[in-house]
Structure 1
Amino acid sequence: MDTQQKIMFACIHNAGRSQMATAFFNKHKTSDKVLGISAGSVPADKVHPNVVEVMAAIGIDLSNVKPQKLTKELAETVSIIVTMGCNEACPYVPGVQIIDWLIPDPKGSDANSTLTIRDDIEERIKQFIKEQGF
Structure 2
Amino acid sequence: MADIMFACVHNAGRSQMAAAFFNKHKTQDEVKGISAGTNPASEVHDVVREIMLEVGVDLSNIKPVKLTPELARTVSTIVTMGCGETCPYVPGVKVIDWSITDPKNKPINEAREIRDEIENKIKVFIAENNY
Question: What TM-score does the superposition give when structure 1 sets the normalisation length?
Answer: 0.96
Structure 2 match to 1:58: 55
Q: Please give the alpha-carbon distance, in whole angstroms, between the structure 2 residues aligned to 1:96 and 1:87.
A: 16
Which residue type is aligned with residue 112 of structure 1? N
Q: Please give the alpha-carbon distance, in whole angstroms, between the structure 2 residues aligned to 1:125 and 1:113.
A: 18
1:22 aligns with 2:19: yes
Supply the RMSD in Å over aligned alpha carbons. Answer: 0.6
Structure 2 match to 1:97: 94
Which residue type is aligned with residue 108 of structure 1? N
CA drift at 1:77:
0.3
Structure 1: gaps spanning 5 or more residues: none
Q: Deviations over 1:77-128 (max 9, x none)?
A: 0000000011111110111000000100000111100000000000000000
Q: 1:85 aligns with which of 71, 82, 98?
A: 82
Secondary structure of 1:37's match?
Answer: strand
Q: Which runs of 4+ in 1 moved over 6 A?
A: none
CA drift at 1:5:
1.3
Structure 2: gaps spanning 5 or more residues: none
Q: Percent identity?
A: 64
Structure 2 match to 1:120: 117
Q: Please give the alpha-carbon distance, in whole angstroms, between the structure 1 residues aligned to 2:34 and 2:84.
A: 18
Alignment of 1:27-38 (within 5 A): 27-38=24-35
Kindly tell me the number of residue pairs found equivalent between the two proteins.
131
CA drift at 1:48:
0.2
1:108 aligns with 2:102: no
Question: What TM-score does the superposition give when structure 2 sets the normalisation length?
Answer: 0.99
Which residue type is aligned with residue 112 of structure 2? L
